[in-house]
Amino acid sequence: MYNGGKIIIGLLIFVGLVITPFLFSGEKATAKPDPKVNTPEILKLPESERKCIESKEYMRSEHMKLLNQWRDWVVRDANALYTSTTGKQYKMSLQNTCMKCHSNKKDFCDQCHNYTAVKPYCWDCHIEPKEES
């Protein structure tokens, strides 16, 4: 092989770089996320009312798109209320609607966000609920 030695060394460096993240990630990254929905605010509700604004599956996969839409609707189009598919109306606000029920950011939001290594910058501005830690 022409320049064989150099190529093999190059390949080894490349493979080394590729696997570094795996070597450095500890066990916590593989712990399965377990978002909790047992905040006092949610437990206060009667059993039949303990639902998010849309179905659990929808919220799990689409909440980021929904929030993205909300912020445009509120900030840019001057709307305030969101009518969910169940017909109920909600005030569109991350801080004042979502986080009122989900007052446990650490056990709710962060669970999956850490697992999937996404760092939403919502909390740079929106104030997260006070939690005892």
**CB of residue 127 vs other proteins: minimum separation in angstroms?**
5
Residue choice 75, 88, 120, 131 for contact with other proteins (CB under 8 A): 75
Q: Which residues lie closer than 8 Å to 86 by C-beta, 6 or more apart?
A: 51, 54
C-alpha dihedral sign at 14, 19, 25, 29: positive
127 binds other proteins (CB under 8 A): yes
92 binds other proteins (CB under 8 A): yes
| Angle at CA of residue 35, ends 49 and 28, nearest 5° | 175
Based on CB atoms, which residue is closest to other proteins, 24 or 121? 121
Continuous segment of H or E residues that includes residue 83: strand 81-83
Based on CB atoms, which residue is closest to other proteins, 50 or 91? 91
Binding site for other proteins (CB under 8 A): 62, 65-66, 69, 71, 73, 75-84, 89, 91-92, 95-96, 121, 124-127, 129-130
